[in-house]
């Protein structure tokens, strides 16, 4: 069974078959040269994920069939948010963000309708419904193990103080970024690796960009399995809380 955008569809339809590709389309950039066997492979990237779900809608009469179809249409229509969470019953801890693509034609025979729902996931990764979150209360190096099989881009929240000092954050001794802006007690510094942005949330709830207070855009990245995040302070800066939301994901 499937759940879409927070609604279980089992009261409205029967899932006959689900076609989930092992991987999304692999888009290759290549060059073929006359006289040379094979090709040069320059670049590879993942395309969107296309998931097809064959369904049957059953009702006691034509009127109920039309009512169910109207309800399903309302659930599947994501005009406001573009995509919604798509969850499959055999992987209830993961979701993919998707929207209906193409036509949704039904073959209707009396009080039964059959068709195929095609879900288009522009981001081809599955994410943890209950994400890995790690919380620490002092500067230092923190080693933890996250779920998932694909690299992920965490959201890191830091509380503390800074006025003239530096707070440095690094991941696995590879990605390192320094913040030298002002941070007052009660405020929160956010580093969003997914959106490649940084901001301070004031005690009033106002969010203020601090991208100009970073020394580079080398935001933290988490690999599958074990990771180490290091937070250090210089010249009077302090850190009282580090909250790491991993955005764990699967291929």
What's 46's domain CATH number?
A: 2.40.30.200
Are residues 101 and 22 both part of a single domain?
yes
Adjacent-strand bridge partners of 245: 133, 155
Q: Where are the alpha helices (DSSP H) in 31-161?
A: 62-76
Residue 90 phi/psi, 5-degree rounding, is -85, -5
Question: 73-106 burial by CB neighbour count: b if 16+ within 10 A, else e?
Answer: eebbeeeeeebbbbbbeeeeebbbbbbbeeeeeb
Are residues 78 and 141 both part of a single domain?
no
Are residues 99 and 31 both part of a single domain?
yes
- Express each pLDDT in 10-39 by its tens digit: 999 999 999 999 988 888 888 889 988 888
Q: How confident is the model at residue 8 (pLDDT cuts 50, 70, 90)?
A: very high
Residue 63 confidence (pLDDT): 87
3-state helix, strand, coil in the chain (%, to 5): 5, 50, 40
Domains in the chain, number: 2
Find tokens 């689900």 and name the residue: 18
Are residues 68 and 121 both part of a single domain?
yes
- Express each pLDDT in 171-218 by its tens digit: 999 999 999 999 999 999 999 999 999 999 999 999 999 999 999 999
Question: Which of residues 101, 126, 151 is at a domain's end?
Answer: 126
Taking 80 as the threshold, does the pLDDT of residue 109 lie above it?
no
Residue 111 and residue 161: Cα distance in Å, rounded?
66
Strands (E), 70-193: 84-88, 94-100, 106-109, 112-121, 126-128, 133-136, 140-146, 155-161, 166-171, 175-179, 188-192
Q: Which domain holds residue 115?
A: 2-126
Question: Collapsing DSSP states into helix, strand and coil, what is residue 45?
Answer: strand
Are residues 20 and 122 both part of a single domain?
yes
Are residues 179 and 99 both part of a single domain?
no
In this structure, what token pair is assigned to residue 206?
């106002």
C-alpha angle with apex 202: 201 to 204, nearest 5 degrees?
Answer: 120
Are residues 119 and 142 both part of a single domain?
no
Taking 80 as the threshold, does the pLDDT of residue 66 lie above it?
yes
Rg of the chain over all Cα atoms, to the nearest angstrom: 24
In this structure, what token pair is assigned to residue 144?
């933890």
Residue 23 confidence (pLDDT): 87
1: number of CA atoms within 13 Å, CB side? 10
Global pTM reads 0.83
- 58 burial class (0-12, 13-18, 19+ CB within 10 angstroms)? middle
Adjacent-strand bridge partners of 157: 190, 243
Question: Which of residues 126, 141, 158 is at a domain's end?
Answer: 126
Question: Collapsing DSSP states into helix, strand and coil, what is residue 210?
Answer: coil
Question: Which of residues 126, 151, 177 is at a domain's end?
Answer: 126
């Amino acid at each position: 069974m499937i759940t879409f955008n927070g609604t279980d569809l089992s009261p409205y339809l029967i899932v006959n078959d689900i076609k989930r590709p092992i991987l999304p389309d692999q888009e290759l950039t290549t060059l073929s040269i006359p006289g040379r066997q094979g090709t040069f492979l320059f670049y590879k990237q993942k395309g969107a994920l296309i998931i097809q779900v064959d369904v049957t809608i059953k009702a006691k009469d034509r009127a109920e069939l039309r009512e169910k179809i109207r309800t399903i249409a309302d659930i599947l229509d994501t005009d406001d948010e573009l995509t919604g969470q798509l969850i499959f019953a055999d992987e209830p801890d993961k979701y993919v963000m998707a929207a209906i693509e193409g036509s949704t034609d039904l073959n209707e025979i009396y009080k039964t309708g059959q068709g195929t729902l095609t879900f288009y996931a522009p981001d081809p990764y599955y994410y943890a419904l209950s994400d890995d979150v790690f919380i620490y209360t002092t500067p230092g190096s923190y080693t933890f193990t996250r779920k998932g099989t694909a690299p992920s881009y965490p959201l890191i929240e830091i509380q503390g103080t800074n006025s003239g000092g530096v707070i440095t954050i690094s991941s696995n001794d590879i990605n390192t970024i320094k913040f030298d802006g002002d941070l007052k007690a009660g405020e929160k510094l956010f580093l969003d690796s997914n959106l490649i942005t940084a901001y301070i949330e004031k005690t009033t709830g106002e969010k203020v960009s601090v991208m100009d207070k970073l020394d580079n855009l080398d935001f933290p990245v988490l690999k599958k399995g074990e990771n180490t995040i290091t937070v250090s302070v210089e010249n009077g800066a302090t850190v009282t809380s580090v909250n790491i939301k991993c955005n764990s994901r699967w291929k």
